Structure formats: structure tokens, C-alpha cells
Amino acid sequence: MATEYSPKELMACVAARELRDGEVVFVGIGLPNLACNLARATHAPNLLLIYESGAVGAVPVRLPVSVGDPALVTGSLMVASMAEVFQSFLQNGKIEVGFLGGAQVDRWGNINTTVVGGDYAHPKVRLPGSGGAAEIAVNARRTLIINALSPRAFPADVDFVTSPGHRYHGTSRAALGLPGAGPVRVITDRGILEPNAATGELELAAIYPGETVDGVRAQVGWPLVVRDSLGTVAPPTAEELRLLRDVLDPKRLFLKG
Amino acid sequence: MSKLVSMHDAIAAHVRDGDSVIIEGFTHLIGFAAGHEIIRQRRRDLTLCRLTPDLIYDQMIAAGCARKLVFSWAGNPGAGSLFAFRRAVEGKGPPLELEEYSHFGMVARLSAGAAGLPFWTLRNYGGTDLPVANPRIKSVTCPYTGEVLATVPALRPDVCIVHVQRADIHGNAQVWGLLSTQKEAAFASARVIVVAEEIVDEAVIRADPNRTIIPGLIVQAVVHEPWGAHPSYAQGFYDRDNDFYVAWEQVARDEATLARWLDEWVYGVKDRAEYLARQPDLRARLTAKPRPSGSVDYGY
């Protein structure tokens, strides 16, 4: 029986399925947080959640609305100082998965959360900036990008590289000496992009039920390569939807739309 | 000797025009009461330093206190934008000089300051435009491994203001819950003002010394200011006022509305006690539900 679901609900499910039990995840607010807690409630009960604010092993009983929510502290395993979070956990290689997203993602998986339009000193739109994103993109062993597709959000080149992807002005991550693998999946609202193993350019790797290749291509600002063996993605299960809607985000703070 | 003074006197004595100031707290324990007092005393040309400027620096920018912002994430956490900041940077308001890092970069700057070192190294910024935007992000070659590491200069503010759950009159300050960069910021700064939800006897501090994050020896002034972190929160005392953060989007979006808010809630009140008296519902809405920890045994 077909069940109705929203693109964001499927994005949260796809992200949750990427996480393996026992992994250490650097979590952000919104869909990443929902994905991690969905994974914890289904196939990955031993997922260890770390928030940049310092909560380690957080088990939030209410939906956190910011990375510094007090519910992340209550019942956690450890409260680390932010120096410990970035140095002892992230830079020291203890974070296996980091979640990222932003106003712009380009063909190499570079992310812009700093300025759009104009130049850095005189931007058309000023965004919040890096926060912890740059260091997560550099140091997490792998990252997952969650971003809805649109031509504005997926230009060929971002206006400003806040968080590095697979190539910076032609230079690869390896040549730049970045320790992490970079974005291994870009989870969008229509399909999943993955980097080409040789070049790092994002390609269409899987498509969601009801979406078309042309529909995806129209949302991306570069000639998107489509893999020969294009994967399909299972829709959310009834249990995944129940958890998302009734338990994790009952007020639909992050699932609406 | 007691360092206990009023907020007015602490700011009057220790925050001067042109100072670099760090009001600490990451989502948790943000020193709103101190920021409001700085606005009321009309300090000017401040260099405001914080990882997340949050609403308090947006208010201080709107009030004309700031010449420069040193930061790593300038948004309204969980709600949206900082509009006074955006107006300044997008050329629609009084100009504001920026010095921008990432969180790790700011943490590293404070770590260097707290360690008395000129700079700090970190494995970061490769493949990003941040060092292009901010030439103070440089690099160094490790003399042992040859690895090229990013460097950031020490941050040594003139004044650090930390909001804590409890302190004694000497400034020995204890915090639980999210720790932010309070300890590093305090040790990095020339002067430290501790603002506490509760003033406790020195014996309370001594009964649980592991919980002390700032020793009185680096503190110049202690202020007793219950609910001084509202609309942020103090673990075990009161919850974050998320409704305020969401509502702020509409207040700050328009310059005139924001100015009226400052008139009513900052210039229009004498101090934090009066700010609280005007919001009698806060306690019922936000007071924390108890969740006491076990205690440990320091015996030997």
C-alpha cells in the first residue's frame, strides 16, 4: 500500500539509513538531528551523538531547536568544552560522520554558508558563516550533505567556499592534505548525488520514487553525469514515518514542506 | 576582600570605550544582562568577540556599541538571521568591521590567549576561502613532521564577561551544563567580570572544586544577577526562551522596530530586576524542572 510522505521525510530516512550502529556522529540541528535520532530508534541504537556545543552521547528527550539545547546535556555521557570537542574529538579523528548543508553546494561538493552575490566585503546576502562546518568538512572521516535541490542551491561553483568538498580550484582533497574523505553522499529531495571516484565531481547515483533524471538535471547548475547503474531509493516505511511524525518531530518544526 | 558589586558598577569600572570585549556563553549562559548594561552606559567603538554573536551582539550592534565583530557564526540559533549584523554587512546600516573565523578557529585563538602563546595551530582551512577573507589565518610547517598546519593569532580581549550558575564573593565560579569557551576566554582576557545566578559561601565552592571553571584569582568583579542570561538559559535554573528567539526575527527585521525594542527593554529599564518585573510570566514558563546529580566523595 502506498503511503504519502513529504520530500523532507524521505531525506531524513535516507540520511538515517546511511548511519551504521555504533558510529560516532557530529550532529547538527534540523534534518540531521532527526536522521540521527531516527537511526537510533531503528537500526542504530548505539549511535553516539556529539554536538558542537559539547554534549557527547546526547539522548535528547525533546526535539532540540538549537545545538546548545539544555535537553542535549541532561542524561548525556559527557559535557566536553568546545576546545575538547574540536581538538580531542574532531581533529583527533574520533568523528566518523559529520552532517553538512548550506545555501550553495557546487559540483565538487564545496559548500557556501558565508556570502551570496557581490564579494566577501560587499555581499548581496550575508549568511551566518562557518560555525563548525569548515572543520567538520576537513576532519570528519566522511560527511553527508543534506540539501534540497534547486538551481540556486546547486550552482557549478559556489560564491564562497566555506567548507571544502572534493576539489578547490582544481586541487584535490588529497593534494590539499585534508584528512577526511569529504562528502560521500549528497542527500537531496529528489535523489542522491555521489562523487566520481576519480574526479570528485558529483554525479546522480540514485533517484527517488516518482522523480525523473531530467527533473533532477534541471535543478543543477552543471551538466550532471548520470550513472549507468542508477539506484532507486525505498520510500519511508510505516515505522519510519510513525517515529518521525509522532515521536521525533510531532510539531513538524523541521519536517514541514 | 569581596569583589561583589552591582552590574552598573562592574560595567562602569571595567568596560571602556574602544575595548575588546568577549561576553561568553554558547547558547547556554549568554550574558544578556551585562550586554544590556553596556548598551545603557552607551559604550562605543567596542570590538565584540564571540563564536556566535547571538541576539545580544545584534542588540549591541543596533545600539551603536560596536566598531568591529570577531566571530564564527552569526545567525539567530534555531530561528534565522541577525538583522542588525546583516544590515551592517550588506551596506544597509552603519558599517561594521569583520574578522571572521570558524568555531574551531575562535576556540584556537582563545586557547592561545589562555596559554599565553602568540598563536595556535590547527588542522583546518585547506580548500576553503576563509584565509582569503581573513589574512590573519596563516600557516606554519611543523618542525617535527613537515605537515603544514593552519595558524590563528591569540585572542586576548580587554574584558571577559562570564555568566555562571554560582560563584563566591571572590569570583571562584562554578558551571555545569554546556561549557562553551568560558574558561579559555577568562584566562585569555585582561579583566574578568563574573555574573552569577547565585552567590554562595566559599565553603560551597570548596565542597566541589572540580566544578570550578574560573578561579577568583583572575576575577576583578562579581555580580549577582538572577535570570541574567535570559532569553538564553542556565542549566538547572531556567530554560531557553525559544519563543523570544523566534519572535526576535520580526523585531530585528525592521530597524525602527528594533530601536523601539531597545527603548522599551534596555534603555527603558534601570536594571535586570526591572526587566524581570515587567515579565512576571517568565518564572512560570521557564523555571527548570529539577534533575539533581548524584554527589561524589572527595574524602581521602
Is-contact B192 B223, C-beta < 8 A? no
Whole-number pLDDT of residue A61:
87
Residue A104 has pLDDT above 80, yes or no: yes
Task: Give percent of chain A with pLDDT exceeding 70.
Answer: 99
Residue A239 has pLDDT above 70, yes or no: yes
Give the C-alpha separation, B202 to B169, whole Å: 8
Q: Is A26 in a helix, a strand, or coil?
A: strand
Give the C-alpha separation, A35 to A18, whole Å: 9
The pLDDT tens digits for A58-87 are 998 888 888 899 999 999 999 999 999 999
Give the C-alpha separation, B84 to B262, whole Å: 12
Residue B229 has pLDDT above 60, yes or no: yes
Catalytic residue among A52, A96, A211, A240: A52
Which among B74, B126, B181 has CB closest to A83? Answer: B181
**Partners of residue B160 on adjacent β-strands:** B22, B192
Cα distances (angstroms) measured from residue B30 to each of A23, A146, A185, A243, B226: 32, 30, 36, 34, 13
Residue A1 has pLDDT above 60, yes or no: no
Whole-number pLDDT of residue B47:
98
Domains of chain B: 7-101+156-286 (3.40.1080.10), 103-153 (no CATH)
The residues spanned by each domain of chain A are: 7-248
Closest Cα of chain A to B11: distance in Å? 27
Give the C-alpha separation, A165 to A181, whole Å: 9
Whether omega before B290 lies within 30 degrees of 0, making that bond cis, reads no
> Which H or E element spans position B202?
helix B202-206
| C-beta atoms of A138 and B184 within 8 A | no
| Amino acid identity at A46 | N
The pLDDT tens digits for A7-37 are 999 999 999 999 999 999 999 888 998 999 9
For residue A122, which residues of chain B lie inside 8 Å, CB to CB? 91
C-alpha cell of residue A145: 550533505
Which among B26, B89, B122 has CB closest to A68? Answer: B26
Is-contact A152 A37, C-beta < 8 A? no
CATH architecture of A7-248: 3-Layer(aba) Sandwich (3.40)
Is-contact A104 A111, C-beta < 8 A? yes
β-strand pairing of A78-79 with A97-100:
unpaired
Give the C-alpha separation, A42 to A101, whole Å: 24
Give the C-alpha separation, A44 to A36, whole Å: 9
| C-beta atoms of A134 and B183 within 8 A | no
Residue A2 has pLDDT above 60, yes or no: no
Q: What is the ipTM of this complex?
A: 0.97
Nearest to B39 by CA among B195, B267, B264, B275: B267
| C-beta atoms of A173 and B127 within 8 A | yes
| Amino acid identity at A245 | R
CA B187 to chain centre: 14
**Partners of residue B195 on adjacent β-strands:** B163, B223
The pLDDT tens digits for B134-193 are 999 999 999 999 999 999 999 999 999 999 999 999 999 999 999 999 999 999 999 999
Mean pLDDT, rounded, for A101-127: 96
Instruction: Name which of A81, A111, A112, A249 to mutate to probe chain B: the one with the most chain B Cβ atoms within 10 A of its Cβ.
Output: A81
Closest Cα of chain B to A94: distance in Å? 14
C-alpha cell of residue A191: 535523489
* B contact residues 198-227, partner A, Cβ 8 Å cutoff: none
Give the C-alpha separation, A91 to A137, whole Å: 11
| C-beta atoms of B90 and A124 within 8 A | yes
CA B299 to chain centre: 35
Give the C-alpha separation, B232 to A23, whole Å: 31
> Which H or E element spans position B213?
strand B212-214
| C-beta atoms of B128 and A134 within 8 A | yes
Indicate the burial class of B146 (C-beta count within 10 angstroms; 0-12, 13-18, 19 or more): exposed
pTM above 0.90, yes or no: yes
> Which H or E element spans position A241?
helix A238-242
Which among A55, A65, A81 has CB closest to B242? Answer: A65
Q: Hey, is the C-beta of A179 within 8 angstroms of any chain B C-beta? A: yes
C-alpha cell of residue B241: 526562551
| C-beta atoms of B133 and A68 within 8 A | no
Give the C-alpha separation, B189 to B181, whole Å: 12
Cα distances (angstroms) measured from residue A25 to each of A61, B173, B235: 18, 32, 24
Residue B74 DSSP symbol: -
Is-contact A24 A95, C-beta < 8 A? yes
C-alpha cell of residue B8: 552598573
A18: annotated active-site residue: no
| C-beta atoms of A79 and B85 within 8 A | no
Instruction: Name which of A66, A92, A113, A249 to mutate to probe chain B: the one with the most chain B Cβ atoms within 10 A of its Cβ.
Output: A66
* A contact residues 8-37, partner B, Cβ 8 Å cutoff: 29
Is-contact B213 B174, C-beta < 8 A? yes
For residue B52, which residues of chain A lie inside 8 Å, CB to CB? 131
Q: Is B3 in a helix, a strand, or coil?
A: coil
Helices (H) and strands (E) in chain A — how many of each?
A: 7, 16
pLDDT-derived band at A197, boundaries 50, 70, 90: very high
Sign of dihedral through CA atoms B30, B66, A129, A92? Answer: negative
CA B167 to chain centre: 17
CB contacts < 8 A, A to B, total 172
For residue B122, which residues of chain A lie inside 8 Å, CB to CB? 86-87, 91, 135
Give the C-alpha separation, A23 to A12, whole Å: 17
Mean pLDDT, rounded, for B278-292: 96
